[in-house]
Amino acid sequence: MDSVFHTNCLDLCKWVEDSVIDLIIIDPPYLTTSESWDQEEVVSEELSQELFRIAKSSCSLYCWCGIGEKSQSLIRWFPIFSKLWKFKDLITWKKKRGLGMRKGWLQAREEIMWFVKDNKQFIWNKEFQYSDEKQSGKFGFENLKEGYTSSEFKRIPLIWTDISSQMKGNRIHFTPKPQKAIERIILAHTKENDVVFDCFVGSGTTCVAAKKLNRQYIAGDSDERYVNITKERLKKLTNE
């Protein structure tokens, strides 16, 4: 536990025992950049099977992906994961600013597929389903029959517009994901000391978010540079 390994995604999975992981968050290569780690398709039925094996029955799987002219990983990966995993929803992260100058509409989003191992046993911490935005109308349990919510805050929708794509400091990875999004997923599906798994750790945001929220983690990456970057980030977090 609480380790980051320099290895490929399949080998890392095979080192893990059956049914020990509480939450899986992965961001596989989309095959859309010139980066060396982004040149080979690694999502496969074997990977899906291994992730399914190591997951507890209450485990959720979140997989970052893309859809568009250049990035079609959502189309490629959905049939692979849906053979074993139960599909729950598709989340769209609306970025604050888009990238690229191609002819057409500005690309300013990424998707996250949400699957569960068992549709009757997956964990959902409903207290973390609310945003910071307050309701404008009535709320409270006494108003549920009238269709009102039980919270003074609005529920978070499937389109995440409240998370910035502008990371603080120097960008240390070509395709970083926001820590706030990772923390949101962890809080919704785990409790303290649960185990979060990420076999495409990149710059280490999943590990940092897990450690910050008092969760355990098992992570790895095939690129040794990012394994070292992740370890340095974790070391700094420990010393703070």
The per-residue pLDDT for 157 is: 94
Q: Could you tell me the end-to-end alpha-carbon distance of the chain, in angstroms, rounded to an integer?
A: 21
174 and 222, same domain (yes or no):
yes
114 and 10, same domain (yes or no):
yes
Task: Name every residue whose Cβ is closer than 8 Å to that of residue 24 and which is 6 or more positions away in sequence.
Answer: 51, 55, 59, 60, 61, 62, 196, 197, 198
112 and 222, same domain (yes or no):
yes
The per-residue pLDDT for 115 is: 98
The per-residue pLDDT for 141 is: 47
pTM to 2 decimal places: 0.90
Residue 138 structural domain? 129-156
The per-residue pLDDT for 25 is: 98
Report which of 212, 215, 188, 199 is spatially closest to residue 54, judged by C-alpha positions: 199
97 and 172, same domain (yes or no):
yes
Report which of 194, 193, 217 is spatially closest to residue 205, judged by C-alpha positions: 217
163 and 234, same domain (yes or no):
yes
Chain CA centroid to CA 13, Å: 17
The per-residue pLDDT for 87 is: 98
Burial class (CB in 10 A: 0-12, 13-18, 19+), 78: middle
38 and 149, same domain (yes or no):
no
Q: State the total domains in the chain.
A: 2
142 and 185, same domain (yes or no):
no
Going edge to edge, which strands form the sheet with 3-6?
Answer: 3-6, 216-221, 195-198, 21-26, 55-65, 107-116, 86-99, 159-160
147 and 162, same domain (yes or no):
no
Torsion of CA 233, 203, 187, 22, to 10 degrees: -100
22 and 88, same domain (yes or no):
yes
Q: What are phi and psi of 149, to 5 degrees?
A: -80, 160
Torsion of CA 229, 230, 235, 237, to 10 degrees: 120
The per-residue pLDDT for 228 is: 95
240 residues of the chain, pLDDT tens digit each:
999 999 999 999 999 999 999 999 999 998 777 787 778 899 999 999 999 999 999 999 999 999 988 789 999 999 999 999 999 999 999 987 666 667 888 888 899 999 999 999 999 999 999 998 888 766 554 445 555 556 788 899 999 999 986 555 556 666 778 999 999 999 999 999 999 999 999 989 999 999 999 999 999 999 999 999 999 999 998 886
Mean pLDDT in the chain?
A: 89
35 and 80, same domain (yes or no):
yes
From 156, 174, 197, give the residue that closes a domain: 156
* Amino acid identity, position 168: K
Query: Is the backbone of residue 80 left (phi > 0), alpha (psi -120 to 50) or beta?
Result: alpha
